[in-house]
Chain A
Amino acid sequence: MKKPDEHDSHDQSHEHTHDKDMCRRYLGSLSDYVDGTLGDELCEELEAHISVCENCRVVVDTLGKTVTLYHQLPSPELPDAVKSRLYTVLDLTAYVPESRTGSEEDGQ
């Protein structure tokens, strides 16, 4: 695991020449980078940039982590009561599938 201060040595010399325009230029590529769909050339440029720009390195890592955390967010279930009202509204009560007994956690 990386610690936030591991790259500090790079940063000192970089700080005052920190080129916000450069960072802004890469902003539009970060989402594609995280998805692995960024073109090779831009990808190399971006990787070169984040090797010297700690802020962008953190943004890239935490952006990827944000997406991963949302992928892991548990999905809400369709409660049985909502499902049964749906079949009623749609006039399909004859086709209600066998209720899954014992799934109380659905009920909220």
Chain B
Amino acid sequence: MKAPEIRVKGLCKSFGDNKVLKDLEITLEAGKVNFIIGRSGGGKSVLLKHLTGLLTPDSGEVWYGDREFFRAGKREKENLRKSVGLLFQDGALFDSLSAGENVIFPLWYHRAMPEDKAKERALSLLKDLGMEGAYDHRVEDLSGGEKKRVAIARALVMEPGVLFFDEPTTGLDPILSTQVDALILEARERTGATVAVVSHDIAAALSISDRIHLLHEGRVLLSGTAFDFKKSDLPEVKAFLTGDEPEGP
């Protein structure tokens, strides 16, 4: 079960009075690139944190294939997590380590391979992201976009069967954005991973996704292919594709 289908059922989450997710249902198809789009503050990052168990739902289920995440034992959770790579929206790099040490951290921690092999893999990932010179740089000296790319490399380094990216191209220039999109596709090709990308980049969503899910007011308003989105009549979808305020009813 390297690249499972991920199915979320009836997910509810509130922070105080703020109801963020309201009975949300979403299916991330196995081995496909799923884009999750939606307004800022709409709960996309909160959804990813539920998929990785960093937040506990008020109610609802998260299924990886035939296993429910929150009912899994400690061991099982650990194994599930080892097969997941997550890019945090703000990178969440370890600032006590260098850029390169950040990338090899998961390999080092789980003793997944000998040190020289791990370094080789980290270097090649960094090279793909145009960061080959930064291996020994301190995290605090990196620019925002450089941090993001190091964090992407760290999410990819274990070659996980599930990849979650929270805004991988936000803050990157258009050339780098295209490179990162290509890298995501390439990682999917290489490992067959199930991929979810939270993004505000509608053009990328329309061009590289297998499926797009529009999050609106705590629910998935529309799941479909780029084609479905382009021909949709829903005002929220149209507004999203054109960037206009949604029209009143």
Do A and B assemble together?
no
A positions within 8 Å CB-CB of B: none
- B: residues with CB less than 8 A from A are none
